Structure 1
Amino acid sequence: MTDKKAEKPLIPAATILMLRDGDTGLEVFMVVRHHQIDFASGALVFPGGKLAPGDKEPKVRGLCDGADGLDDTLLALRVGAIREAFEESGVLLARDAGGAVIDGPRLSALEADRPLLDKGELAIGDFLERETLRLACDMLHPYSHWITPKMMPKRFDTHFYLADAPADHVAMHDGSEGVDSVWINPSDALREADEGKRTIIFPTRMNLEKLAESKTVAEAMAAAKARSIVTVEPVVEDVDGTMMLKIPAEAGYSVTQIAIDKMG
């Protein structure tokens, strides 16, 4: 019997697979986590993280494009995804007073706000009001939903989104949580992990494998819109003496179970 009292609370989180069409095909922006971070340290991941209190402020709804039809929780997840992506990659999915996605020069002028948002010294709503900006939540396309297994010491309830990165936004890791960054073809990222050159955790690998099925941003977006999202909360089971991590087959990933000792 599971001890409900022992289960860790779920931490709402969101992340963006920022995409572009590169010279050799589809590319996704990824960062290398600092080795002192307590989750996925040293791993190649998509920019993202847990929601901040300011992401849920009522006034933020009026500062978002694409908020209609989203309840407060789903909207806060998109707000958090865009905020985290700005903090960790420098890309900001936002529109100016004229309704245009902000350009590179305007983005550069906002660079000093990245650490303020990251440290909680500036709330996203106050930032948007000050700069007369609106978050482009309509640029995000739901991609997947993963919940950390019950036996883990810290559990995240993470929503993944796709977004087409503005062409003149220069993506760069923040030097704090992320110590390196790269635009990389999903298949290349997987190959480098198999060769021992990269560390990629299981959920990231599964989403990269699915992304690698597309050759362009347009293909990836179309595929995401055509799929139903199935929540993945891996469970661990003993299968003939081997501890296996299992995920739902209907989630559409390449595997439904993997031996725990084969994941590292």
Structure 2
Amino acid sequence: MPSSAEHPERTSGTGRPPAVRYFEVPERHREAAQAWLERGAGIPSSTPAPAAAVVFVRDGERGVETLLTYRPGTSPLGTIGFPGGIVEAHDDDPLDWAGPTPVEWARRLGTDDVGRARRAVVAAAREAFEETGVLLAGADPMSTVESVEGAEWMRSREALALGDVSLAQVLGRRRLLLRSDLLRPLAHWVTSDFVHRRYDIHYFAAVVPDGQAASLLESRGIWGRWVDAGQATAEPGGTWLGDLVGQEDTAGRRLADLVSPGVQCVLESIAECSSAIAFLARKRTVALRNPVLEVRDGQPVLRIDLA
């Protein structure tokens, strides 16, 4: 069955990007997709949980690289994805802030809900620090923390993962400001209706501050590394990325079965850029993307409207 996951036709016959793309339903979700189709339209779907993720980029030897992590299980965000997770209640806690205001972030993210925009920014910074040890914060609006290595920082990350502390508490104890200006709005995706666990996720782009280096969380980290985006997406039907991760549920599996459509589209957009700076500087409108389940050539597929 031809699909854009197998044959990524990223331009139409006119040279413009297509208005619609089709993606295969990942293997881990095919049973749920078939059940949804058999029950017919009108079945209530679950409410998507607000979430956020950070797409870190840097210049590599072959092209632009991005930081990917492995998630065991059947997350709608994919087995392989960007550092991120759901918004927590404590992401509302007051903290010292530098950069665009929450009102400005609401405008950038295309929402009238200022509180939601603020929580998305805080959650993105929190998840990035928790999962990768990259802290988008500094002692003042012009500086960043130079090093977050060592046992004390790891304890803070573990406490965040357990929900014992908030990012506001971690920063407050060290008299640090959240540097929201280090994030760039990137994309907004909502998980398809048929999936049991759904997410309404904002993706942000960033670079790792000078002096910092990514590292996995000791208690939960399994795999994470910088990956060349062009190589990861060169053959959507290939197994290069899954073999690189090397886990039992990734080895030998195709890109379409490992990442969500949102992650694949972001990876492709990174691969199209000549440098990390070019990727960060690209002007883009953050439009909501919601993959729709339908049947094409007798098979369930996800349709993405890009117009």
Which residue in the other structure is 1:31 paired with?
69
Residues in 2 aligned to 1:126 and 1:193: alpha-carbon distance in whole angstroms: 42
- Could you list the per-position Cα deviations for residues 70-111 of structure 1 after superposition, in whole angstroms to 9, with x for gaps in the alignment? 32211110110010011111111101147411102x554522
After superposition, residues 14-25 of structure 1 pair within 5 angstroms as 14-25=52-63
Contact 1:146 1:157 in 2 (8 A): yes
> Is this contact kept in 1: 2:77–2:260, CA < 8 A?
no
In 2, the alpha carbon distance for the partners of 1:130 and 1:164 equals 25
The answer to whether the Cα contact below 8 Å between 1:32 and 1:181 also exists between their aligned partners in 2 is yes
CA 1:194–1:96 in structure 2 vs 1: closer, same or farther (change >3 Å)?
farther
Aligned mate of 2:177, from 107, 131, 134: 134
Which structure has more relative contact order (CA 8 Å, sep 6+)? It is 2
Match status 1:231 vs 2:288: yes
Name the counterpart of 1:63: 97
**The 10-residue stretch of structure 1 (240-249 or 159-168) with the greater mean CA deviation from structure 2:** 240-249
1:79 and 2:117 equivalent? no
Structure 1 counterpart SS, 2:159: helix
One-letter identity of the residue aligned with 2:259: I
Call closer, same or farther: CA 1:149–1:42 in 2, change over 3 Å: closer
The DSSP-based 3-state class of the residue aligned with 1:122 is coil
* Higher strand proportion (structure 1 or 2): 1
Secondary structure of the equivalent of 1:111? helix
User: Structure 1's 102 and 192: CA in aligned 2 closer, same or farther, altered over 3 A?
Assistant: farther
Question: Aligned to 2:280, which of 221, 233, 236?
Answer: 221
Distance in 2 (CA, whole Å) between partners of 1:111 and 1:98 is 24
Could you say which residue in structure 1 is the equivalent of 2:260?
Answer: 201
1:112-131 paired onto structure 2 within 5 Å: 112-131=155-174
What residue in structure 1 maps to residue 35 of structure 2? Answer: none
1:42–1:75: structure 2 CA closer, same or farther, 3 Å change rule?
closer
Describe the superposition over 1:188-228 as per-residue Cα deviations: whole angstroms up to 9, x where unpaired. Answer: 222476432413333211210111111211110122xx121
TM-score (norm 2): 0.72
1:193–1:178: structure 2 CA closer, same or farther, 3 Å change rule?
farther
Question: Are the equivalent residues in 2 in contact too, given 1:97–1:132 (CA < 8 A)?
Answer: no
Percent sequence identity is 27
CA separation in 1, counterparts of 2:238 and 2:231? Answer: 10
**1:2 and 2:42 correspond:** yes
Where structure 1 has 5 or more consecutive residues not aligned to the other structure, the ranges are 251-264
Q: Which residue of 2 aligns with 1:260?
A: none
Q: In angstroms, what is the RMSD of aligned CA positions?
A: 2.1
Q: CA deviation at 1:125?
A: 1.2
Aligned match of 1:171 in 187, 211, 214?
214
Q: How far does residue 177 in structure 1 lie from its aligned partner after superposition?
A: 4.3
| Secondary structure in structure 2 of the residue aligned to 1:247 | strand
| Number of residue-to-residue matches in the alignment | 241
| Aligned partners of 2:189 and 2:200 also within 8 Å | yes
1:184 to 210, 227, 237: 227
Q: Which one of 11, 17, 38 corresponds to residue 49 of structure 2? A: 11
- Residue 21 of structure 1 deviates from its aligned partner by 1.7
Alignment-mate amino acid for residue 239 of structure 1? R
Return 5+ residue gaps in structure 2 as ranges.
Answer: 1-40, 106-113, 243-257
Residue of structure 2 in register with 1:210 after alignment: 269
Equivalent AA in structure 1 for residue 269 of structure 2: K
Give the whole-Å Cα distance in 2 for the aligned partners of 1:157 and 1:40: 11
Kindly indicate whether the alpha-carbon contact (under 8 Å) linking 1:29 and 1:182 is maintained by their aligned counterparts in 2. Answer: yes
CA shift at 1:19, angstroms?
Answer: 1.1
Assess, with a 3 A threshold, how the Cα gap between structure 1 residues 2 and 98 changes in structure 2: closer, same or farther: closer
